[in-house]
A and B are shown apart, each in its own frame.
Chain A
Amino acid sequence: MSSAEALSEHRRMLCRRRVRFAALLCAALFLTAIWRLGAGEWNIPASRVAALLNPFLDESMRALPEALVVRTIRLPRLLAAVGCGGLLAVAGAVLQGLLTNALAEPYTLGIAAGAAFGGALGFFIDSYAIVPMAFVGAMSSLWLVSLIALRGGGGASGIVLAGVIMNAILSAGVTFLKAIADDRLGAIVLWLMGSLSGASPAAAAVVWGASLVLLVPAFVCARRIDACSLSEGQGELLGIEEKKLRWLMLTASSLATAAVVSFFGIIGFVGLVIPHLIRSFIGPSTRPLIVFCFLAGGLLLALADGAAQAMGELPVGVITALIGGPFFCWILISRNRP
C-alpha cells in the first residue's frame, strides 16, 4: 500500500471512530436531557415533556403548572448545565494546548478566584451586585495576570505562574471576606461552592452566548493552537504571532468563564478533567477536541447537576470535584503506565 493510500485509509478510520464517539456522546446527552426534564419532585413522562417543549404550544397549555416547570425551570437549568460544562471544558482544552501546560484552565489561571473575590465582595454591597462584581473580579484578575506575565516576557510559563500567584492572593482575599462576613457567611460559602439550581432562562442564554465568544475563535484558530501546543515558541517558527493568539484566546476564555462563575459560582474540575479524557480518545488535534470537549463537558455537568439535585440540592461544584478528582488521578496513572 502506498503512503497516499495508507493516509486515505487512516483518515477513513479516524472519521469512523469520531462519528461513533460523537453518536455515543449525543445519545448520552439525549438520555440525560430526558431524565433531567422529566424527573424531579414532579415526574413527567417523556412523551408529555416532548409535547410541552413544542415551540408552537398554545397559550392555555403554556400556563399549565407542568409546562411552567418544564419550560421555565428544568429546561433553563439543563441548558445552563450543558452550556457551562461545555464552555469550561473547551476553555481548559484551549488553554492547556496554547500554554503547553497540562494543568492550565481558567481556574488555575486565577480567573475563577477573581470572580470569587468580586462576587464575595458583591455580597457586602447588594444581592444585585454579586453577578456584575464577580464578572469585574474575573476580568480584573485576568488584567493583573496579563500585567505580571507581560513584565516577565509574556511567555506561557510566565502566564501560568502569574495565574497561580493571583489565585493564591485572591483566595486569601476570599478567606478574609468570609472571616468578616458575619451573617452573610452562609450565603457566600454556598455561592462559592457552585450551583445551577437558580438557573433562569436569561442566565442560560448568557452562558450560551459566552460559549460562542469562546467557541468561534477557538474553532477558527484551532490549527494555530495545534502549532503552539507542540512546544513554546514553535508557533512563531510556523508564522504565527504566538503572543497575540495567546492573549486573544486567554481573553475569550476569561470572558466565557467569568460569565459562568458570575451566575453559578465555582464549578471546578470540568475544565481540567474533560480535555485530558477526550484527548486520550481522539488525540490532541484542537478542532475535533473542542467539539468533543463541549459535548462531554456538557454531559458531565448535566449528570453532576442531576446527581446534586437528587441528593437534596448539594452544590454541583462538590459533585464535579468528587467525580473529577479521582478520575483525573486514574487518567494520570493509566497514561504513565508502561
Chain B
Amino acid sequence: MILYSFDALNAGYGEKTVIDGISGGIKGGRITALIGPNGGGKSTLLRLLGGLGSYKGTLSLNGREVSGMTRRDFGRIVGFLPQNINVRAAFSVYEVISLGRLPFHGALEPVGQKDDEIIIESAELAGVGHLLFRKVTELSGGERQRVLFAMTLAQKPNVFLLDEPTSALDPSHAHRIFSLLRILASEGKSVVAAVHDLNSAVSFCDDYIALRSGKIASCGEMARLDEKILYELYGIRFCRYRSEDGKTAWHPE
C-alpha cells in the first residue's frame, strides 16, 4: 500500500533549492528511514510530508494532494516530531502531552477521562510516566525529547514523521523508542524518520530513502543497503560487521 507518492517534487527556501525534482513513494505500515549527509534535504522532505511548506510538483498522502489538506486534517492523521524543540514555557509534562489531543477537540471542549487514559498511556510508553507533574523546562534534553514524543503518541496518528527522534537520547532510551516504533508499525502505523544513526536504521527500519543534495541517491529495502551506496552517499568507506545472530552493523573505516 502506497502511503505517500511524489512526482517531480521541488522545494526550497528563497532562491535555494533543497528538494530537487524527486519522484517516488513511501509504503504504508512500514518504517522508512531518511538517510544522507547534512543538508541533503531530509528535514525538508519530512516537513513537506507533514504538509509544512510550499512545493512544486505533486505530493499525495493516501491519494489526496497534500497542498489541498487543512492543518486539522494533518493534526488528526500525522504526528510530527521536529528536531531540537526548545520549549520555553514552563508547562507540566502532563499539559504538554495533553496538547496532542488538541486536533480531536472543539475549542471549549475539556480534556476528558478517555483523553487522560491516552495521555497516561503515551507518557508511560515514552518512559516519562514518572515525570507527569514536573515542569518541562526543568527536564534534560533527552527527557524533553521523550515528552514531545509522548505528545506525538497522544495524537494517535496513523503516520509518524520523526526528525532524528533519538538525537538527544542515551542508547537505552533510543532502543526503547525504536522498539516502540517497530510495535506501532506491526499494528499498521507508518513511520518515516530522518536518522543519522545508521545502525539503528539498519536494525529497526524496513526501507530507506538516501538523499544527497536534494536528490534521491538510492532507495529500497534496508537489506539492499551496501558499501557502495554508503560511499556514494557520505564520501567515506564503511565496513559491514555481522553479529552471531545475523544483525548488521556499519562503521566508517
Contact = CB atoms under 8 A, between A and B. Distances in A.
Contact of A233 (B82, B90, B108, B120): B82
Interface string A269-295: 000000000010001110000000000
A173 B75 CA distance: 45
A237 B107 CA distance: 17
Given A3-B120, A223-B102, A238-B75, A284 B133 contact: no
A43 interface: no
A97 B91 CA distance: 12
Interface residues of A, number: 30
A171 interface: no
A230 B102 contact: no
A97 B89 contact: yes
Contact of A231 (B85, B103, B117): B85
B82 A237 contact: yes
Nearest to A227: B99
B237 interface: no
Interface stretch (A4-12, A20-28, A308-316, A326-334): A4-12
B117 to A, nearest CB: 8
Contacts, number: 90
A227 B101 CA distance: 11
B243 interface: no
A234 B88 contact: no
Contacts of A224: 102, 107
A223 B76 CA distance: 16
B80 A230 contact: no
Q: How large is the interface on B (under 10, 10 to 19, 20 to 34, 35 or more residues)?
A: 35 or more
A220 interface: yes
Most buried by B among A100, A227, A233, A239: A239
B100 A238 contact: yes
Interface string A219-246: 0110110110111011011111110000
Contact of B89 (A229, A240, A241): A229
Nearest to A97: B89
A230 B85 contact: yes
Nearest to B87: A230
A17 B31 CA distance: 46
A230 B103 CA distance: 16
B224 interface: no
B75 A230 contact: no
A230 B91 contact: yes
Given A4-B116, A233-B82, A239 B94 contact: no
A10 B116 CA distance: 13
B71 interface: yes
Nearest to B73: A239
12 contacts: A3-B120, A3-B124, A100-B88, A220-B107, A230-B85, A230-B96, A238-B102, A239-B71, A239-B102, A240-B75, A240-B102, A283-B91
Interface of B: 50, 52, 70-76, 80, 82, 85-92, 94-96, 99-100, 102-103, 105, 107-108, 116-117, 120, 123-124, 129, 132-133, 155
